[in-house]
Amino acid sequence: MIDKGSHSNNPLEQFVLLAKSAKGAACNELIKQVLESPGVYVFGELLDMPNITELKNGPEVKVYNTLNLFAYGTYSHYLANPSDYLELTSLQRKKLQHLSLVTLATKSKCLPYDVLLKELDMTNVRDLEDLIIEGIYADIIHGKLDQKNSQFEVDFAIGRDIQAGDINVIVNCLRDWCNACEGVLSCVETQIQRANEEKNKNIQRKSDIEQEIVNIKKTLKTQLSDRPDGVDDSMSSDNRDATATDKGKKTMKIKGLKILR
């Protein structure tokens, strides 16, 4: 028997180590324990082991089919062909329902209660909400129960095992994502180039204005230096002559007064 309380960063690791030497009934018992073990929600490493793969061609094919179901299938798959699999215990049934909930959560961010009740073969909303809460505490899904609108809003769901046939789909999805990122990057680079060009134009415009101001100052300084000192440019030549005449008259008058004395 496996010590389910033993600590491991990977809950499946201890089963993988034991499966390397397990044969026959021991191998079957090991798989049944895996399907009930809390914290184990991926099974790909076991399915890839030669002694596990051998089961699908022997009398214990149901054991292999059940492990394969937990790795890739859902509860609705089990209900469609229950005779192909082992009869599930209550713990195994609940784990498969949790895995089915994870699969649904990866396909939609909003899961109506009526859809979940049908997929998980449940009739009571309270039991459904309890199942979802258990999944949240198990850290396989995160989200919010929207009881007003009778739906579960998904924030996060763990990833399940990937079948070989799904690899091309994932590759295409990643390729599309990379192409989209390249498009965004190209757009950003174009905007940066435009911003730099506009910046350079503004710098050149500022430099031209500053140079024009310097030239105007030089011109004004040259014009002022070419004019006689002490001459008020606002006075016309006629006004300057009149002023000079008035000064002469004052001088003569003063001189006349001196002579009379």
Q: Is residue 193 part of a domain?
A: yes
**Per-residue pLDDT at 96:** 96
With a threshold of 0.75, does the pTM exceed it?
no
Task: Report if residue 181 sits inside a domain.
Answer: yes
Whether 183 is in a domain gets the answer yes
Residue 137 lies in a domain: no
Q: Convert the pLDDT of each residue in 56-109 to its tens digit.
A: 888 889 999 999 999 999 999 999 999 999 999 999 999 999 999 999 999 999
* Backbone phi, psi, residue 201, to 5°: -65, -45
pLDDT for residue 259 is more than 70: no
Residue 2: pLDDT band with limits 50, 70, 90: very low
Q: Look at residue 56 in the predicted model and tell me its pLDDT.
A: 84
Backbone angles phi, psi at 37, to 5 degrees: -65, 130
Which tops the pLDDT comparison, 19 or 111? 111
The answer on pLDDT for 203 being more than 70 is yes
Confidence of residue 38 (pLDDT cuts 50, 70, 90): confident
Is residue 148 in a domain? no
**Euclidean distance between CA atoms 125 and 131, whole angstroms:** 10
- Partnered with residue 112 across adjacent β-strands are 151
Q: How far apart are CA 195 and CA 182, in angstroms?
A: 20
pLDDT band, very low/low/confident/very high, at 43 (cuts 50, 70, 90): very high
94, HSE (Cβ side, Cα atoms, 13 Å): 15
Say if CB 65 and CB 85 are below 8 A apart: yes
pLDDT class of 127 with cuts at 50, 70, 90: very high
56 vs 85: CA distance, rounded Å: 12
Task: Give yes or no for a contact between 113 and 125, defined as CB atoms under 8 angstroms apart.
Answer: yes
Domain membership of residue 194 (yes or no) is: yes
Listed range (3-17, 33-47, 114-128, 146-160) with the worst mean pLDDT: 3-17
Give percent above pLDDT 70 in the chain. 83
Q: Using CB atoms within 10 Å of the CB of residue 120, give its burial: 0 to 12 exposed, 13 to 18 middle, 19+ buried.
A: buried
Q: How far apart are CA 182 and CA 72, in angstroms?
A: 33
**CA Rg, the chain, in Å?**
46
Q: Please say if the pLDDT value at position 213 is more than 60.
A: yes
| Band (237; pLDDT cuts 50, 70, 90) | low
Q: Is residue 18 pLDDT above 60, yes or no?
A: yes
Cα 212 to chain centroid, rounded: 50
Whether 67 and 35 have beta carbons less than 8 Å apart is answered as yes
In a domain? residue 218: no
Most confidently modeled range among 116-130, 170-184, 206-220: 116-130
Domain count, the chain: 1
Among 37, 53, 47, residue whose Cα is nearest residue 16: 47
Segment holding 223, helix H or strand E: helix 167-225
For residue 249, pLDDT beyond 80: no
Question: 257 pLDDT exceeds 50?
Answer: no
- Determine the structural domain holding residue 200 and report its residue range: 162-209
Residue 169 inside a domain? The answer is yes
The residue that leads in pLDDT, 241 or 192, is: 192
